[in-house]
Amino acid sequence: MTAVLVAHAGKNGGTREIAEVISEELRALGHHVDTRDAADVADVTPYSAVVVGSALYYSRWRPSAVRLLQLHADALLERHVWLFHSGPCGPGAGLAHVSLPANVALLAARIDAERTTTFGGRLDPATAHGLLARLMARGPRAGDFRDWDLIRKWARDIGRRVTTEVSL
Ligand SMILES: Cc1cc2nc3c(=O)[nH]c(=O)nc-3n(C[C@H](O)[C@H](O)[C@H](O)COP(=O)(O)O)c2cc1C
């Protein structure tokens, strides 16, 4: 059994739910998984593999996810790390690939992370705070564009690679 950390950062719970589904798939493959808000991660050294996911807001990662990568860069370099972000909403959301924000791309290179995956996001009018959020949540981008089959498949691929590539 391999210990895996799945850390998430968002505002309205959509990214946390993605992290929970990823964790569920990893557990089903026999791994020991801790699912944590990125802000609550004090130490990554108990884990052999780490997944970090952030919601995208204004083309940026959430500060707590960036801080996690910054503060633990040395330890993460010695571990297998996968990154994802969630954001695109509306028609075509499932096809979108969003590049990492420049500050996160630098950190990803520093810790030698796997290529980042983009998942669709969720824009819920009920949780839209602020003028722009309310406007966005009224148009065609409102709704849940998270592709659970894709998310589960990505998680299972990671789970298998953790089994075969990560030393215990
Ligand atoms: C004000 C605002 C700005 C956003 N900016 C982006 C963006 O730049 N790129 C993107 O792909 N998604 C963007 N989104 C969509 C969010 O990333 C999406 O709703 C995501 O699922 C939110 O995750 P959370 O529920 O974990 O906070 C934005 C949403 C809002 C409300």
Measured from the CA of 62, which atom of ligand 1 is nearest?
27
Q: Do 44 and 76 touch, CB atoms closer than 8 A?
A: yes
Question: Is position 156 within any domain?
Answer: yes
Distance CA 168, CA 164 (A): 10
Our mutation pick for probing the ligand 1 site, out of 35, 52, 57, counting the most ligand atoms within 8 A of Cβ, is: 57
What separation in angstroms does the CA of 31 have from each of 6, 47, 69, 79?
12, 11, 22, 15
* R_g over Cα of the chain: 15
Burial letters 84-97, b for 16+ CB under 10 A, else e? bbbbbbbeebeeee
Ligand 1 atom 27, closest CA: 11
Residue 145's pLDDT is 97
Q: pLDDT digit string (tens) for 70-117?
A: 999 999 999 999 999 999 999 899 889 999 999 999 999 999 999 999
Q: Do 87 and 52 touch, CB atoms closer than 8 A?
A: no
Distance 150 CA to ligand 1 centre (A): 19
Question: Is position 127 within any domain?
Answer: yes
In whole angstroms, what separates CA 82 from the centre of its chain?
8
Question: Is position 138 within any domain?
Answer: yes
Question: Is position 167 within any domain?
Answer: no
Question: Is position 168 within any domain?
Answer: no
Distance CA 74, CA 63 (A): 19
Question: Is position 122 within any domain?
Answer: yes
pLDDT band at 128 (very low <50, low <70, confident <90, very high): confident
> Which residue range is the domain that position 87 belongs to?
3-162
Number of domains within the chain: 1
Ligand 1 atom 16, closest CA: 87
Q: pLDDT digit string (tens) for 2-54?
A: 999 999 999 999 999 999 999 999 999 999 999 999 999 999 999 999 999 99
Distance 152 CA to ligand 1 centre (A): 21
What's the CATH number where 139 sits? 3.40.50.360
128: phi then psi, degrees, rounded to nearest 5: -80, 105
Question: Is position 158 within any domain?
Answer: yes
H or E element in which residue 89 lies: none
Residue 167's pLDDT is 54
Q: Which of 49, 107, 105 is nearest to 82 (CA)?
A: 49
- Ligand 1 neighbours (beta carbon < 6 A): 10-15, 55-59, 86-89, 98, 121-123, 132-133, 136
